[in-house]
C-alpha cells in the first residue's frame, strides 16, 4: 500500500517534531509575557484615591470687549453667564442681544448671519443652527492659555491697507 513505507513514517515523524517544537516556543513566549510586569496604566497616585480638583477659573466680568485672536473668531462673552438658561425652550442671551432688544439693553446685536439659513435665506428669527450661543461663544477667564498664541495680525507684518500708499 501506498503511504505506509519507511519514508512516509519519517515524514510524519518530522512533521510531528516540528509541530511540537513550534508549540513549545509559542508557549514559552506566552509564559514570558505573563511573567513580566505589565506596564502601569495609572499615574503616580494609587487608584481610587481622592485628588483635590483645580480651582475654578475667575471669570472676567468687566464688560470690556476683547480683541479677537484671529480673523472670524466668534466674539468672547465679556460678562458672567452663570445661571443663564440655554435650552431648546429658552435662551437668555437673546433677551439682550436679539435685534429688537439691543436698544434697551445696550448690548451689541447678534450678527445678521445668525438670522440666515444654511442656504443664505433670511429668517424673521434666529436660525435654529445658531440658537445655542455657547457652541461658539465662550466667557473670558483669567487663566494662562494652554497653547501659546503666535498669531500675527497683518498690520503688524508691515502689510499696508489698500489706499495707504
What global pTM score does this model have?
Answer: 0.55
Domains of the chain: which residue ranges? 1-36, 58-144
Q: What's the grid cell of residue 16?
A: 510531528
List the one residue out of 95, 68, 70 whose CA is nearest residue 81.
95
Which residues are bridge partners to 139 per DSSP? Answer: 77
**Residue 55 confidence (pLDDT):** 85
Q: Dump pLDDT digits (tens) for 25-74.
A: 777 777 776 666 666 676 666 667 777 888 888 888 888 888 887 778 89
CATH number of the 58-144 domain: 1.10.1130.10
Amino acid at each position: 500500500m501506498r503511504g505506509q513505507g519507511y519514508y512516509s513514517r519519517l515524514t510524519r515523524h518530522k512533521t510531528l517534531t516540528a509541530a511540537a517544537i513550534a508549540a513549545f516556543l509559542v508557549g514559552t513566549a506566552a509564559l514570558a509575557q505573563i511573567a513580566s510586569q505589565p506596564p502601569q496604566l495609572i499615574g503616580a497616585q494609587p487608584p481610587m484615591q481622592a485628588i483635590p480638583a483645580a480651582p475654578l477659573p475667575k471669570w472676567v466680568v468687566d464688560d470690556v470687549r476683547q480683541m479677537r485672536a484671529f480673523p472670524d473668531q466668534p466674539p468672547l462673552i465679556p460678562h458672567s453667564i452663570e445661571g443663564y438658561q440655554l435650552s431648546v425652550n429658552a435662551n437668555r442671551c437673546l433677551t439682550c442681544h436679539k435685534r429688537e432688544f439691543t436698544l434697551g439693553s445696550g448690548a451689541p446685536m447678534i450678527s445678521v448671519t445668525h438670522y440666515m439659513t444654511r442656504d443664505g435665506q433670511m429668517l424673521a428669527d434666529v436660525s435654529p443652527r445658531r440658537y445655542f450661543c455657547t457652541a461658539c461663544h465662550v466667557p473670558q477667564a483669567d487663566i494662562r492659555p494652554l497653547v501659546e498664541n503666535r498669531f500675527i495680525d497683518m498690520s503688524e507684518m508691515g502689510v499696508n491697507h489698500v489706499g495707504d500708499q
